[in-house]
Amino acid sequence: MSLLQKLDDDLKTALKASNSLKVSVLRMAKAASKNKQIEKGGELTDDEVLAVLSALSKQRRESIEQFSRGRREDLAEKERQELAILQSYLPKQLSAEEIDRIIIEVIKESSAEGTKDMGKVMRMVMPRLQGAADGKIVNQRVRDLLTKT
């Protein structure tokens, strides 16, 4: 079953259960996927749907950060709940050790030396971590590991 089909099925289930938050999040995810599909001009693969869900998750994390800074915990909590629903469709998030291991492999493969090669390393790392790690965290770890080399 494709990821889009799973979103459809879960939306129907959430509608029947009157779970308004989940209905809202799934409709938003389907709309974003549909927009991407129109932009592409064809059907989306599961990887492309994962990229859309990752982008939506990133938006939620940024919103949580902003709302927390603005002392709006009510809104931050709503975003956390939406993020939890979105993350249930993403692959399991990798631990810091697993992320570091993949980054170190890529640094060796690309013969990167120092932060000047950061772009090269990031271009190779991100497809391997698609949806399984936050890009902001990966960026920081790449920077840290490249400074040590």
Q: What is the pLDDT of residues 1-59, one digit of tens each?
A: 688 889 989 999 999 999 999 999 999 999 999 999 998 888 888 888 888 888 898 89
pLDDT in tens, 134-148: 778 888 888 888 787
pLDDT in tens, 82-123: 999 998 888 787 888 888 888 888 888 887 777 777 888 888
Percent of the chain with pLDDT over 70: 98
| Nearest in space to 57 (alpha carbons), one of 75, 24, 84 | 84
Mean pLDDT of 65-86: 92
Query: Which pLDDT value is given to residue 149?
Result: 63
Are 81 and 20 part of one and the same domain?
yes
Query: Which pLDDT value is given to residue 147?
Result: 80
Q: List Cβ neighbours of 102 (8 Å cut-off, separation of 6 or more).
A: 94, 125, 128, 129
Rounded Cα distance, 98 and 102, in Å:
6
Are 37 and 107 part of one and the same domain?
no
The CATH number of residue 36's host domain is 1.10.1510.10
Domain total in the chain:
2
Domain hosting residue 35, numbered range: 3-87
Are 60 and 106 part of one and the same domain?
no
Query: Which pLDDT value is given to residue 77?
Result: 93
> Global pTM?
0.73
Rounded Cα distance, 80 and 55, in Å:
15
The CATH number of residue 136's host domain is 1.10.10.410
Are 30 and 79 part of one and the same domain?
yes
